[in-house]
Amino acid sequence: MATTLSSPVFAFSSSLRSSKPRNYGLNSASSSSYSLSPIPQNPRSARPWLSWKLYRVHATLLQDNEEKVAVEESFPPKTSPQDEVKRSSGKSPGSSSSSNLETWVVKFEQSVNVFLTDSVIKILDTLYHDRNYARFFVLETIARVPYFAFMSVLHMYESFGWWRRADYLKVHFAESWNEMHHLLIMEELGGNSLWFDRFLAQHIAIFYYIMTVLMYAVSPRMAYHFSECVESHAYSTYDKFIKAQGDELKKLPAPEVAVKYYTGDDLYLFDEFQTSRPPNTRRPKIENLYDVFLNIRDDEAEHCKTMKACQIHGNLRSPHSFPEDELEDEAVCILPEADCEGIVDCIKKSVTAPTKQK
């Protein structure tokens, strides 16, 4: 599918770069400083495999009046990474030294991720405090990189027979496909018009890719949490922009690439990255530029929820993996699949036991 779909879109991207961008305005509109604001997840327990019942949770926005909007929670994660460590140990919290060490490791990983994300945010705030579209272009160039890194490592694991979970590859590719269209939209809006912005975004992306590959090989949990932090910042960034410029955005036309992506006939990949909902349940309307940014913001919320769910090993399932008549089934039979958590676990399993093929 990737081969047949990618050619016309990438060709379209090239034509956008060579053509003069349309004047959508608001590119230099001033906005308040951006900061990391995670989308809170409701800590509800779930069965060993996901239920398709949808819940509601309030996401706190970075507004002075503490205004809130409701977003749908991901297929509920079984629990937080720290609680998963405690439960898997089979002992009460604090009774096992190994469990305590693992809990400390999780907290350390998350602290490092928050520090790295905040550092990048401060750089973007300094360089792009009054250039919205350029900031969005840089952000989207960076945001799509982790999914390339995840797939690269998983393909390597597949080559050695360590990994046989197609759902992860399907969902991560769909996520990269979605982020690529966000990038095409920002290019059509003129966000990549300056050489400096392109240079900065592309070189940050190279460094980010190498870092994520190494991080994902060592600790997939840490890599997924870092990506969750990035997506959470993207959500809050677009939400602030919509709140500040909503009236003006409603007067501007929607980019052609956005209309084609969100309202096209083939929305399989659009449904694929939204693991919190059954397919065909979200069909955006695109009438103006406000609708475009509203849907981009909602896309980032879906990415954030998926990345949070991925932090629990084996918790990710493709929305298309379930027959339509089983979407409401509480217990779904899942066949055993070869997998591992990081390069160390993969090597250990390959030495101690033969790889099982389906």
Grouping H, G, I as helix, E, B as strand and the rest as coil, residue 129 is coil
Share of the chain above pLDDT 90, in %: 49
* Nearest to 174, CA basis, from 11, 316, 333, 336: 316
| pLDDT tens sequence across 214-247 | 999 999 999 999 999 999 999 999 999 999 999 9
Identify the residue with better confidence: 84 or 255: 255
pLDDT (0 to 100) of residue 63:
39
Cα 215 to Cα 199: distance, rounded to the nearest angstrom: 24
Model confidence pLDDT, tens digit, residues 290-299: 999 999 999 9
- Domain ranges for the chain: 106-320
* 88, containing H or E segment: helix 81-89
Check residue 7 and give its pLDDT.
Answer: 43
Q: How far is it, in rounded angstroms, from Cα 248 to Cα 64? A: 21
User: How far is it, in rounded angstroms, from Cα 100 to Cα 89?
Assistant: 10
Verdict on whether the full-model pTM lies above 0.95:
no
User: Which pLDDT belongs to residue 313?
Assistant: 82
CB-facing half-sphere around the CA of 12: CA atoms within 13 A: 17
How do residues 316-355 score in pLDDT, each as one tens digit? 888 887 655 444 444 444 444 556 666 666 666 666 665 4
Q: Check: CATH 1.20.1260.140 for 106-320?
A: yes
3-state secondary structure of 355: coil
Give the per-residue pLDDT at 196: 95
Specify the pLDDT at position 152.
93
The answer to whether the CB of 77 falls within 8 A of the CB of 305 is no
